[in-house]
Each structure stands twice: as structure tokens, then as C-alpha cells.
């Protein structure tokens, strides 16, 4: 798939695919009053979890495996927070801890599409789990590579599989490159990644997108309806000592493992001088799929910077009702807003006379989380992990 190809998604398909999210995530104040206790009545939904465990990935995977709403068709580790040589056994450890060795684990990409791997061992520890040590896994991965496994499952269940991505998007982009029709068969993609309010590895870029911006651009331009849970909301999800104490008090393997990882991660943050515990970035993405009303949402056209020396991996959100482009509510449905073009950089003296146009007409491709009820999120996360 050419990462520069025009976006194929139609507004009708985007609205149909995301209707449930938009209905559930109304901006009305009463949205926040819901307890979320009825969430288990949703589903089951077929999902593939693509991940790079990773402290917050680990708790996110345990949450997913403890959630009856999800029919997890596969877990597909990818290089990211730590190399694949660690993310793969970490994923296998977690399925064993959760008693879910029925879930296939397929090894993914060892490196980004065109770049050298940048890891985050500074945040996740040398083993990816904050230094928490668990026995070596005895479960083996399936022989099929992750990209092929994703492609085969999506084709087996057309329009039924949602991709929940918690790491760099290399595996998903590789699957899309190998099968140009695949994007039209994916039900949707819920991602932890991106930011419209600055990065966490550079001032511009969020880590998952920074590691493989070319892969992210392929995904955002693929036409798959995307739900983006980025730093705009995940920065409000700091794990605390009290959360860990609740997990420690619960006597089950999942809560004990989550507490061990969480305690190590909090201590690691303190040693590095941070005032708060680690943010549960990836767990929020899983929780947002389980219960979209935990977040508030806004539609954007999102694209990824791939060439900037200082901004590679930055996610840019275009909207006719946001920022300096703000218009009155409802104006995005009018002809003026619909004709808003998405422009690239200004031309150089040696290039064309006009700025390149990425899209000639505005159309959203992403639901972006813009606010979060952190208390309700942790009620779901800690409650599920503790077995309550």
C-alpha cells in the first residue's frame, strides 16, 4: 500500500462504523454519571490485540483477557518498548498468568518498516516489565508471522474484527501492504497512540507513532475507521500506591502480577524523580473499547508527519470546528467546511507553485479522545484485575 495514497474512507462509512462510539460518548454532562456497570452486556467482540509489552501494555493485556466482552482472536507482539526478543516472551508470560493459553500469540516485526528501532527501556526497564521478574513461559508462539495471522483472521471474519493496537503500528501496516483489500474488511481500529497536544519522546511525537511513523501513516490513510486514544487523555491516568494496594489485597494470579509490575513501575518513576506513577496509556485504550462513555470524543482528520527532522511521528488533527479553524457548531456539515482542503508544507523555490494538497476536501477519519473520567477508568481497570 502506498502511504501517500488518498484516503478511501467515506463519511458514511465512518459515521456508520463509529455510531456506537459517538452515541455513547455524547458531550452532555450526564455522560459522566454512568457507572459503567452494564458494560459487560456488550459484545462479545472479535479483536486482535497488537502490543509491545511494556508495563502499561501488560496491565492492558491482563484487562483484555479478564473482559468477557472480548473474543481475543490473537495477540501479536511487535518491537517497541523493548525489542521483540522481549515483547514476545512477555506476551506469552501474560497469557499464562491469565490462564488464557487458548489465545494464539504470533510473533511480529522486529523493526519498523524503514527505520532503526528506538526502544523505551528507560521507562519500562530492561525486561519491559519494570524489572518485575516472572518465570520463563512454556507456551510457544504460533508459527505464522503476525502480519499474516492478522490478514488471515480478518479475512476469516470480514467486518467483525477490531484491531486494538497498543504499540507501533508496524504489524498492521505490513498486513495492509500485503493485502490491499484488507482495510475494507476490518471493523475498526482502536489505538493507543498519537497526540494532538504534544509528545512524550519528543516535544512533537508520541512514542508509538514516533517509532514507526511510516506505518502509522499507512494506517491513518487506509480507510479503516480509527479510534485514537492518545496522550491528550492518557496523561490523566497515573497509577497510584492505592491502586496497587487494592491489587495486592486481591488473591488471584492476575492481580498479584499486575501489582508486582505496577509497584516496580511506581518505584522506578520515583527513582527517576517523577512526582506521579506511570500513566496507564494502553489500559485506557482497552477500557475505551470496552466502555466508550469513559471518554469524550471529537472527530478529526488525522495524519502523520514522516519527514520532519524535529517533528517525525507527530500526529496532526484537522477539524473545521477546532483551533484557529473553529466554526459554529454544525458548520462542518455545510459546503464551506466540507470543501476545506488539507494542505502540506509550503513549496520550495525548486518545487511546484502551490502547496501540496493531501486531501482536497475535509473528511474525518478518526474519533479522538479529548477528555477522560479517570475515576471511572480506574474503577474498571482495577476492578477487573482484582477480580471484583
To the query of whether residue 243 is one of the catalytic residues in this protein, the response is no
Say if residue 2 is exposed, middle or buried (CB neighbours under 10 Å; 0-12, 13-18, 19+).
exposed
Q: Report CA Rg, the chain.
A: 20
Can you say how many angstroms the Cα of residue 319 is from the centroid of all Cα atoms in its chain? 21
Of all helices (H) and strands (E), which one includes residue 303? strand 295-304
The answer to whether 226 and 219 are in contact (CB under 8 A) is yes
Helix-helix angle 374-386:253-271, to 10 degrees: 130
Give the Cα separation of 276 and 87 in Å (integer): 25
Under DSSP, is residue 294 helix (H, G, I), strand (E, B) or coil? helix
Determine phi and psi for 305, rounding to 5 degrees. -80, 125
Selecting among 124, 243, 268, 281, the annotated active-site residue is 281
Give the Cα separation of 112 and 118 in Å (integer): 9
**E strands, 102-242, where?**
161-165, 188-192, 226-229
Write down the H helix ranges in 66-169. 84-97, 121-124, 146-156
Of all helices (H) and strands (E), which one includes residue 335? helix 335-338
Burial track 56-75 (b if 16+ CB lie within 10 A, e otherwise): bbbbbbbbbbbbebbebbbb
The answer to whether 42 and 383 are in contact (CB under 8 A) is no
The answer to whether 39 and 380 are in contact (CB under 8 A) is yes
The answer to whether 143 and 278 are in contact (CB under 8 A) is no
Within 10 Å of residue 17's Cβ, how many Cβ atoms? 20
Catalytic center residues: 281
Amino acid at each position: 500500500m502506498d502511504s501517500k495514497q488518498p484516503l478511501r474512507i467515506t463519511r458514511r462509512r465512518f459515521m456508520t462504523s463509529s455510531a456506537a462510539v459517538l452515541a455513547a460518548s455524547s458531550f452532555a454532562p450526564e455522560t459522566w454519571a454512568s457507572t459503567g456497570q452494564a458494560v459487560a452486556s456488550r459484545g462479545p467482540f472479535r479483536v486482535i490485540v497488537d502490543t509491545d509489552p511494556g508495563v502499561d501494555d501488560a496491565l492492558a493485556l491482563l484487562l483484555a483477557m479478564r473482559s468477557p466482552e472480548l473474543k481475543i482472536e490473537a495477540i501479536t507482539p511487535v518491537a517497541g518498548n523493548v525489542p521483540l526478543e522481549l515483547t514476545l516472551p512477555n506476551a506469552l508470560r501474560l497469557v499464562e498468568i491469565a490462564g488464557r493459553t487458548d489465545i494464539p500469540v504470533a510473533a511480529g516485526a522486529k523493526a519498523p518498516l524503514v527505520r532503526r528501532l528506538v526502544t523505551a527501556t528507560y521507562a519500562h526497564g530492561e525486561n519491559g516489565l519494570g524489572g518485575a521478574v516472572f518465570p520463563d513461559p512454556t507456551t510457544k508462539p504460533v508459527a505464522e508471522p503476525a502480519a499474516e495471522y492478522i490478514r488471515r483472521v480478518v479475512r476469516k471474519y470480514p467486518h467483525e474484527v477490531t484491531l486494538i493496537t497498543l504499540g507501533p503500528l508496524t504489524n498492521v501496516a505490513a498486513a495492509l501492504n500485503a493485502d490491499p483489500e484488507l482495510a475494507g474488511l476490518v471493523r475498526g481500529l482502536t489505538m493507543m497512540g498519537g497526540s494532538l497536544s504534544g509528545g512524550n519522546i519528543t516535544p512533537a511525537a508520541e512514542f508509538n507513532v514516533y517509532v514507526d511513523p511510516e506505518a502509522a501513516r499507512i494506517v491513518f490513510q487506509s480507510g479503516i475507521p480509527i479510534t485514537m486514544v492518545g496522550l491528550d487523555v492518557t496523561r490523566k491516568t497515573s497509577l497510584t500506591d492505592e491502586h496497587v494496594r487494592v491489587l495486592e489485597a486481591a488473591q488471584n494470579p492476575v492481580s498479584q502480577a499486575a501489582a508486582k509490575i505496577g509497584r516496580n513501575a511506581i518505584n522506578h518513576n520515583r527513582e527517576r524523580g517523577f512526582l506521579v506513577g506511570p500513566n496507564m496509556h494502553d489500559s485506557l485504550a482497552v477500557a475505551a473499547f470496552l466502555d466508550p462513555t469513559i471518554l469524550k470524543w471529537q472527530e478529526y482528520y488525522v495524519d502523520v508527519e514522516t519527514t520532519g527532522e524535529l517533528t517525525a511521528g507527530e500526529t496532526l488533527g484537522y477539524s473545521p470546528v477546532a483551533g484557529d479553524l473553529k466554526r459554529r457548531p454544525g458548520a462542518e456539515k455545510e459546503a464551506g467546511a466540507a470543501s476545506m482542503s488539507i494542505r502540506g508544507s509550503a513549496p520550495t523555490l525548486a518545487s511546484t507553485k502551490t502547496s501540496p494538497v493531501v486531501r482536497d476536501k475535509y473528511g474525518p477519519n478518526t474519533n479522538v479522545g479529548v477528555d477522560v473520567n479517570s475515576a471511572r477508568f480506574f474503577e474498571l481497570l482495577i476492578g477487573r484485575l482484582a477480580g471484583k
